[in-house]
A and B are shown apart, each in its own frame.
Chain A
């Protein structure tokens, strides 16, 4: 990790390190609170937690500009927070309250935010990829220099829409970053049981696309790879695919008994978790001090409490609004 200071274009400052750490901790504590609220039945439906994978959303978002677009999956709380959507609005969405970022209509799997160009929250695996291709196409046609980043899991790689999108983006030289979060399990099916070729970057390379594989547990590696990819894309060199190797510490969703993997495997990954490792490194190198971490934890705890209070105080949309939001005119 220490080589990150001199290697590549990324120069770390104390502020930057604190920020990366803070953003990952925000996601972690938010997700832990969501799990708790789920058992209290405050949050219902499917709930997919990002615990263990925080470094990817945090590192990639560092490389984005405000005018860029993000397309994410149903495991997108972390992306939403890292992108800058307020924790309170995201939590209210978890509750289904009309103060939520999608007015409560979406819930955990459908977080949207126009202000940060956050296009979901897509719960059809692979379904967000063509959308990202189209956003990239619109940018190219209109001469914008902005980039669309599309997050998806390794499970999506088996979908036809992945292959169609890889081909279209490469064929049309579109400004899209394909950020594949490989946590090695599509729900309960391990990669080797679903892919004949488990080296995912080779799939993108087959479409003539620049592709990399990166340690997704190392936030600095993630950020550096994302920055390099964005520079490549902004220079008009076409789309980039990055596989971020990661691991999901929690169940797929709250209904998952995790029969498909050994507890020891989970523990092994947890021991090298992205926050744990980065925090240790930051303390060892003297970038941050124990007091900084305590301060971050206190701030985040207060932010989470405020988000929960905001969601609790939120209101239910009246039944009379049931059919609202289907179209500009009723169809």
Chain B
């Protein structure tokens, strides 16, 4: 049996399930209660669980993220929602200097079982302070796990598994996915958060991506298929740690790789993956690795410029053709 639901509803169902199953779980963030969440993810949860567990916070990202860390140290299992990745920069001190380091700094006496969710990515014409993809920055930091659910199943299932982790987990929800609807098994539940997934099998090249870019990459693979090129599409799912084994095995098989990453190209997650391919699969490659990333510009407001700034299907197809030695 399957249910029809949106990505937003899948995240909401995951939160509701976690709160029902574990009294220690609570949700805290800006406008998560009375407003229903900036992206309406937590709509209705206040009525269901009450203000003690669905906590509207003041606009104090560092304060309430730090409070989430403290509450986790104190025996709770907080879910902190940061409205967007850009706002998370106001909490970066707590995330990096606190959550990510406490286990190490304390000689493993303390750990921080905290989940932080936030919206990321461009596409809604929200301009240069609401649209960036900084998950690659967070993936730089030892001591935190970074997840990017791209599918309904992952939106529904990653949260519970993340809450079982004794250490901090950041979940990045691409804003363009919230309205995405589809069928999902009625009994959908917790999923693994350690492995990348092969979303489409193919033998001619590997397209490696995550989050909001997954669907564009699958679109590009369909277009390539019409030309007789069968692309394998890897959804990284976990950005830290990276499931190197899965994408390297794919690259060794197809001998060609294109990385699609909504972060800026310079010093990006795509750069990291490319490096790992060079280090581990260089002799298996038949062509240089290609990258499709965001243009080196803050995300512009006008639709045509915003679209041009981030990875799109034609650019992915062109990069794929380039690795195959075809004219772009």
Contacts and interface: CB of A to CB of B under 8 A. Distances in A.
Interface of A: 69, 100-106, 110, 112-114, 119-122, 124, 127, 129-139, 141-142, 148, 160-161, 164-165, 167-168, 171, 323-331
Contact of A138 (B58, B70, B105, B167): B70
Interface in B35-82: 52, 57-58, 60, 62-76, 78
Contacts of A120: 102, 105-106
Interface residues of B, number: 44
A142 B97 contact: no
B276 interface: no
Contact of A167 (B58, B68, B142, B240): B58
A105 B73 contact: no
Given A106-B105, A134-B67, A327 B75 contact: no
Contacts of A133: 63, 66-67, 70
B107 A100 contact: yes
Nearest to B75: A138
Contacts of A326: 103-104, 142-143
Chain B contact residues, majority secondary structure: mixed
A120 B70 CA distance: 12
Interface string B136-149: 00000011110000
Given A141-B52, A325-B104, A327-B145, A112 B110 contact: yes
B63 to A, nearest CB: 3
Contact of A137 (B67, B109, B111, B240): B67
B107 A138 contact: no
A257 to B, nearest CB: 28
Nearest to A113: B109
B75 A142 contact: yes
Contacts of B93: 124, 127, 161
B188 to A, nearest CB: 25
Nearest to B61: A164
Contacts of A161: 62-63, 66, 93
B287 to A, nearest CB: 31
B195 to A, nearest CB: 13
A8 B304 CA distance: 72
A132 B105 contact: no
11 contacts: A102-B107, A110-B106, A114-B106, A134-B72, A135-B73, A137-B70, A167-B60, A326-B142, A327-B167, A331-B145, A331-B167
